Amino acid sequence: MAASPDGTSLVWLRDDLRLDDNPALAEAARLGNPTTVVYILDEESEGVRPLGAAARWWLHHSLDALAAGLEARGSRLVLRRGPAGDVIRKLATQTNAGNLFWNRRYGLPERNIDAALKDWAAENGIEASSFQANLLFEPWTVRTGAGGYYKVYSPFWRACLDSQDVRDPLDAPEALPEPAASGRGLPASDALAGWKLLPASPDWSGGLAATWEPGEQGALHRLTDFLDGPIEEYGTGRNIPGVEGTSRLSPHLRFGEVSPFRVWREIRRRHPRKVPSDVGIFRSELGWREFNWHLLYHNPDLATRNFRPAFDNFQWASPNQQELEAWQQGRTGYPLVDAGMRQLWQTGWMHNRVRMAAASFLVKNLLTDWRIGEEWFWDTLVDADAANNPANWQWVAGSGADASPYYRIFNPVTQSKKFDPEGRYLRQFLPELAGVEGKAIHEPWTAGTDGYPTPLVELPESRERALEAYQNLKDG
Ligand code: FAD
């Protein structure tokens, strides 16, 4: 196809469902040619991981919000389904695109699609341009002295902060160019409802809808609420699951409804001179997100392969369906684990401290392969993230980069006594225990509670079994 130099622009939005600080969109706005903005539901391209059920719910609402935002600025969102490369080629041809814009992604299957499209565009006289929007630091720019990538978090984050400035975010375009048309009018769009991203029969999404406001507005509300309050005590607040001590930005960051550059700038605007230590701790959590994405960039199969190959010989117990279901449904008999798993089921999110305890229980006390837990989280988390989910599971399992040592086994009773001493979090998600008074809530079996499961396994015994399996790995 010979594109005319005064052709149209095609903006392909992916994990960047926002107007603010969206360099691809901003560039199309700057150019001013008629512009097609497309989102593609790609469940067919090789290696692209299909979204889990909770993420599909989120995506539906996020696209709805994005479409409204685009329309308010004179544009519109085109929805298409299919192998992304094919869809873009067709749409670019149909709209006589001279420019193709997108913000970069970092998983290998996605990079392969993008690279092939760049080649195709070059052969067809289309200028394809990609931008940095989703990570503060590009994976290929952070290198150790020896030229490799960092496998340990602290030096990684230090190198990021010492070597590069974080760019300023771009404002959302006030108006967007008119939609591009072909000879036959505006390109057709699928109906969002037709994608059936929302659960039906049964519709289990009531708890998600009550908890979240997907979309750019919702992200901004969360960011402002957090920066106006909880961030000041983040260092301690982030460990207490019974209070809203963290930002709850994770699903918004996952879908790119808020730019990490915007978060960074807002922090700097409020603390122009010195970043207080609680705020620094929060920023370092954003650093873990960067670290995990860099790991995925360098290890595309992070969700399926042990980062430390020594773990390939680990003797996991063969999956016990009954135990697995008890864990999934929050019926292990250990309140902290159960409250977490029910929070996950009801709201699509779980507090980080509880994620660690629940994951440790599955991997260590039930000796279950971390990949099985990772898949469950992938399906149930609204923030299910291709890098953060596997990297954190591997961190808990001990098979990951800079991981918690395998022999560090979270004790769910000690953890809940320490971080939820009054049982506020437990009572919120475990109505059966609402009547249990005092410290017994952490160990309901001591109070002879009716209607609450007896512990699935004994902690000391299952701990010993895990340590033995680990010892065998080291000796083997
Ligand atoms: P905040 O404490 O407010 O942190 C701000 C942001 O920093 C988060 O939104 C997130 O983007 C990032 N962040 C915080 N902690 C981590 C971390 N440990 N690793 C990477 N980034 C982090 N996070 C996901 O975003 N998606 C996942 O699929 C995911 N799966 C996890 C699985 C397990 C087993 C564990 C232990 C953790 C997982 N996490 C995951 C990390 C962490 O639990 C969540 O990012 C955090 O709880 C989100 O809540 P928040 O936005 O309030 O976090």
Secondary structure letter of residue 203 according to DSSP:
-
Superfamily of domain 8-133: HUPs (3.40.50.620)
pLDDT digits (tens, 9 = 90+) for 65-118: 999 999 999 999 999 999 999 999 999 999 999 999 999 999 999 999 999 999
Calculated CA dihedral for residues 29, 35, 39, 44, nearest 10 degrees:
-130
pLDDT value of position 476: 66
Spatial distance between the Cα atoms of 116 and 113, rounded to a whole number of angstroms: 5
What residue type is assigned to position 302 of the chain?
L
Give distance in angstroms: CA of 257 to centre of ligand 1.
16
Spatial distance between the Cα atoms of 243 and 260, rounded to a whole number of angstroms: 24
Taking Cα atoms as reference points, which of 110, 99, 169 lies closest to residue 136?
169
Q: Over pLDDT 90: what percentage of the chain?
A: 92
Spatial distance between the Cα atoms of 49 and 330, rounded to a whole number of angstroms: 26
Task: Choose which residue among 160, 368, 388, 410 to substitute to test ligand 1 binding: the one with the highest number of ligand atoms within 8 A of its C-beta.
Answer: 388
Active site residues: 285, 288, 316, 352, 370, 393
Superfamily of domain 309-475: DNA Cyclobutane Dipyrimidine Photolyase, subunit A, domain 3 (1.10.579.10)
> Which residues, in sequence order, are bridge partners of residue 211?
none
pLDDT value of position 3: 39
pLDDT digits (tens, 9 = 90+) for 138-194: 999 999 999 999 999 999 999 999 999 999 999 999 999 999 987 778 999 999 999
Q: What atom in ligand 1 is closest to the CA of residue 286?
A: 7
Contact 265, 136 (CB under 8 A): no
**pLDDT for residue 129 is more than 80:** yes
pLDDT value of position 2: 41
Q: Which 3 state secondary structure label does DSSP give 476? A: coil
pLDDT value of position 112: 98
pLDDT digits (tens, 9 = 90+) for 253-307: 999 999 999 999 999 999 999 999 999 999 999 999 999 999 999 999 999 999 9
- State the DSSP string of 354-396: HHHHHHHIIIIIS---HHHHHHHHHHH-TT--TTHHHHHHHHH
**pLDDT for residue 120 is more than 80:** yes
Domain ranges of the chain: 8-133, 135-169+214-298, 309-475
**pLDDT tier for residue 405 given thresholds of 50, 70 and 90:** confident
Peptide bond into 202 cis (omega under 30): yes
**pLDDT tier for residue 4 given thresholds of 50, 70 and 90:** very low
- Residue recorded with tokens 């499961």: 453
Closest residue (by CA) to atom 33 of ligand 1?
392
Give distance in angstroms: CA of 388 to centre of ligand 1.
7
Closest residue (by CA) to atom 15 of ligand 1?
285
- Domain 135-169+214-298: give its CATH code: 1.25.40.80
Mean pLDDT of 20-26: 98
CA 416 vs CA 71, 176, 274, 388, 430: distances in Å: 48, 51, 34, 24, 13
**pLDDT for residue 449 is more than 90:** no
User: Which residues, 6 or more positions from 360, have their beta carbon under 8 angstroms from its beta carbon?
Assistant: 396, 409, 410
User: Which residues, 6 or more positions from 206, have their beta carbon under 8 angstroms from its beta carbon?
Assistant: none
Give distance in angstroms: CA of 289 to centre of ligand 1.
7
Contact 14, 105 (CB under 8 A): yes
